[in-house]
Amino acid sequence: MNSRPFTLRDPVKPDDFAEIAAVRSAAEPDWPLSTEELSRRDANLDPAHYHTVIVAEKDGRIVGVGNVGHDDFAFEEWRYWGGVRVHPDARNQGIGSAIYDELLRRVGKRGARELRTASSDRSHSTAGRSFLEKRGWRVAWERFESELNTENVDLHAFDDLIQTVEAGRVRLVSLAELSSDPNRNRYLHELDWLLFQDVPLGFDLTRKTLEQWVKEELEDPNLRPALSFVAVDSSVNDPLTGPYVGYSTLGFNEGGGYYFIGMTGVRRSHRGRGMARALKVAAMRALHAAGGGLIRTFNDAPNRAMLQMNEGLGFQRTATIYRYELKLDGQP
């Protein structure tokens, strides 16, 4: 007989999505998740990779959720990424431990050797970090979150920067304006992969197919094409990336009411000209013209060049996000 005041079960899709999204938003208020976004992420899961979800139900209401699956950013058959979230009103009842144990059992049967998750130094994550550390998880990587509000930035201070960049035969063109380019998606897919080779992530990135990448990136309803810019050099005609030599994207978290920067990068051949900075300024100006708002960005600790650039633009550090890892079966 189950003496626990809650039960664990697999979710019913899509019926449970609204309650799952509510639990996740309550547990992680700095990154709220809508029902629509959760549904989109679920639909975009790569069927070639393993993924499983467990919910905890109490008194007819979902109060906890856990997920674990292959780390599709750094895929290895034995490596998994996941997380456990419990509604703040339902904590200290063994719900998180029960979900965690079941997730561990499931991936253990699959021969998992390494698990990864993320947590921040915000106050609402303190208990979660303690939960992980008591179970042997260790911090393996740090990523810094910074933010600025366009209302607090003198965008005219960057006039010379934009003029200098564009005087060098480079145009800063929005993704929206490039929608008529039949090669846009293919060029950006190749450019994204090329740029990520120089991002200090602490692991080797797994390349996604063009179809999967477009689905996750360019077709993401959170993406704001009119606020995302590509550096186009008409003198370049690379067989893979065409005239695209850099880009920066801006998305919007509707529940949180803030924008966030995705990839920002420039090809090695065009670095040292202020182009990455100009791409971000172009996005900031476009956002300001559209009414302004708060922008958040995330940079890995070793990426000092980008961190310094963001500080120069006016971004201020707000949080540290830790990547935790757990080695299983005696793995070093």
pLDDT digit string, tens, across residues 180-226: 999 999 999 999 999 999 999 888 899 999 999 999 999 999 999 99
d(CA 266, CA 195): 7
15-47: pLDDT as tens digits:
999 999 999 999 999 999 999 999 999 999 999
Greatest alpha-carbon pair distance for the chain in Å reads 75
pLDDT above 70: residue 1: no
d(CA 219, CA 229): 16
For the chain, domains (ranges, CATH) are 7-112 (3.40.630.30), 146-320 (3.40.630.30)
pLDDT bin (cut points 50, 70, 90) of residue 3 is confident
**The residue to which tokens 């979150």 are assigned:** 145
Measured CA to CA in angstroms, residue 320 lies from 120, 141, 192, 317 at distances of 6, 10, 25, 8
Task: Flag whether the pTM goes above 0.75.
Answer: yes
Residue 319: what residue type?
A: A
d(CA 40, CA 45): 9
Phi-psi region of 292 (alpha: psi -120 to 50; beta: other; left: phi over 0): left
